[in-house]
Amino acid sequence: MSRTLPVKKNDYIDVEFEDLTHDGAGVAKVDGYPLFVASGLPGEKAKVKVIKTGKSYGVGRLIELYEKSPYRVDIPASEKHKYGGCQLEHISYEGQLKYKENQVRQVLARIGKLDDVQVHPIIGMDNPWHYRNKAQVPVGEKDGKLIAGFFKPRSHEIIDTDESLIQLPEVNEAIQTVKEICRKLEIPAYDEEAHKGVLRHIMARCGRQTGELMVVVITRTEDIPHKNKLIEEIIARLPKVKSIIHNVNSKRTNVILGEKTTLLWGSEVIYDYIGDVKFAISALSFYQINPVQTKVLYDKALEYAGLSGEESVIDAYCGIGTISLFLAQKSSKVFGVEVVPEAIKDARRNADLNGITNVEFAVGQAEVVIPKWYEEGNAADVLVVDPPRKGCDAALLQTIIEMKPKKVVYVSCNPATLARDLRILEDGGYMTLEVQPVDMFPHTSHVECVVLMSRGEK
């Protein structure tokens, strides 16, 4: 028999928020039934309207706040367009750090059954603004004018913006300049519903240390109207631009980058430094978006790896070899594995660029390549994993358990899949010794962690 819910759609009720969801919505309980309300904060009392009810939870809209959290910040309506992608815009930075650290502890306990694991205080930024080295903004049209900015939360309506408070000023300037040039040249914006038009996204990437800029124009069509003029004007108006790339995405999809990438002008890559290691970055390669915190994260990963110079190391999900090259300086040999061929091309180029010879890179899925290496008699003393949000594949975790590297260093951008994978490794004989959350993405709900596991006693 289905239970009667304590609330109905369109009810107005008074609630007190107890918690936050993983994406920053407030959670209130009505007779044990969870109600998720965007922008509610723990400790706040409010009137909400129930807008949706499901079997296990409902969704409400905040109508009136009776009691405010000390962590609440109010953003004037005229400034809202600068906060695209900032799910935690209504929480002070101090409150955000507290929330993220708690979230890591709770998820490790709930999903990983790791209640007594040592979680260090999160490492935040001294200046948590203008940190992103890359933006990919959707392009559309409003009242006959080309616009570009960010999607309104839970919709495909584009909010036009000329500034983002979390992007580097150079990235803001590049996006704004390319938008103005495309407007002037009357390049038609992509119409998502009709799947017509040309320009879908503008992407800009900046090497924070070098100042070098890459601009990528992503279109539905193979042709770009006024292509030569577009290139000419970008070069004239953005003196730091080193690379202009064209990517064609002809499909009806939410995925940003498409099937074909060509160089329009300049170099295929831009360069950047993390510490004193130099990196070449191409358009399709993953590169951490917060260079300041990346250094903090990699230093911690290196510290956890505890290398003496004798060890062989595997770096799974290595991207352009960033962590591999850090580790190579302190180990006998590093093997990096990555699924994107362009990233491995960058990784090899990066090893050459830095004169690092004790690294080898392979293209392929970590869960296929590493088990094969192991079958062929290879093993590592230290294994580093830095998977995408979905975490490590089960076949890779099984190989780690069989290979028995002394240490596993797990770098994760998703506490839920991290907790799941740590539990599997714990059941396979590893122990979680330390967890260090690092705030790589201020004002968003994302949180990064680096974890040290080892075999043997705690």
The residues binding ligand SAM (CB under 6 A) are: 286-288, 317-319, 322-323, 337-340, 343, 365-367, 386-388, 413
DSSP calls for 234-253: HHHH-TTEEEEEEEE--SSS
Choosing from 182, 392, 413, 449, the catalytic residue is 413
Q: Which residues contact 421 (CB under 8 A, 6 or more apart)?
A: 391, 392, 397, 410, 412
Task: Show the 3-state SS of 298-347.
Answer: HHHHHHHHCCCCCCEEEEECCCCCHHHHHHHCCCCEEEEEECCHHHHHHH
The answer on whether 317 is annotated among ligand-binding residues is yes
The answer on whether 288 is annotated among ligand-binding residues is yes
Q: Is 451 helix (H, G, I), strand (E, B) or coil?
A: strand
The residue among 322 and 445 lying less far from ligand SAM, judged by its C-beta, is 322
CB of 44 to ligand SAM, least distance (A): 34
Beta carbons of 174 and 167 less than 8 angstroms apart: no
CB of 289 to ligand SAM, least distance (A): 10
Amino acid at 232: E
CA atoms within 13 A on the CB side of 99: 31
Q: Is 405 helix (H, G, I), strand (E, B) or coil?
A: coil
The answer on whether 386 is annotated among ligand-binding residues is yes
Q: Which tokens sit at 226?
A: 């006024």
Measured CA to CA, the distance from residue 282 to residue 268 in angstroms comes to 6
Beta carbons of 407 and 315 less than 8 angstroms apart: no
Helices (H), 138-243: 169-184, 227-237
The residue among 26 and 437 lying less far from ligand SAM, judged by its C-beta, is 437
Measured CA to CA, the distance from residue 453 to residue 423 in angstroms comes to 11
The residue among 343 and 449 lying less far from ligand SAM, judged by its C-beta, is 343
413 in catalytic set? yes
The residue among 38 and 362 lying less far from ligand SAM, judged by its C-beta, is 362
CB of 330 to ligand SAM, least distance (A): 17
The residue among 147 and 453 lying less far from ligand SAM, judged by its C-beta, is 453
The residue among 86 and 440 lying less far from ligand SAM, judged by its C-beta, is 440
CB of 372 to ligand SAM, least distance (A): 13
The residue among 204 and 366 lying less far from ligand SAM, judged by its C-beta, is 366
Measured CA to CA, the distance from residue 39 to residue 73 in angstroms comes to 11
Count of other CB atoms within 10 angstroms of residue 347: 28
Count of other CB atoms within 10 angstroms of residue 444: 19
CB of 127 to ligand SAM, least distance (A): 22
What residue number has its CB nearest to ligand SAM?
A: 319
E-strand stretches of 1-79: 12-20, 26-30, 33-37, 45-53, 58-67
**Core vs surface per residue 280-310: b (16+ CB within 10 A) or e:** bbbbbbbbbbbbebbbbbbebbbebbebeee
What does the DSSP 8-state code read for residue 132?
B
CB of 242 to ligand SAM, least distance (A): 20
CB of 173 to ligand SAM, least distance (A): 25
Q: Is 285 helix (H, G, I), strand (E, B) or coil?
A: coil
Residues annotated as binding site for S-adenosyl-L-methionine?
A: 288, 317, 338, 386
Indicate which residues carry an active-site annotation: 413
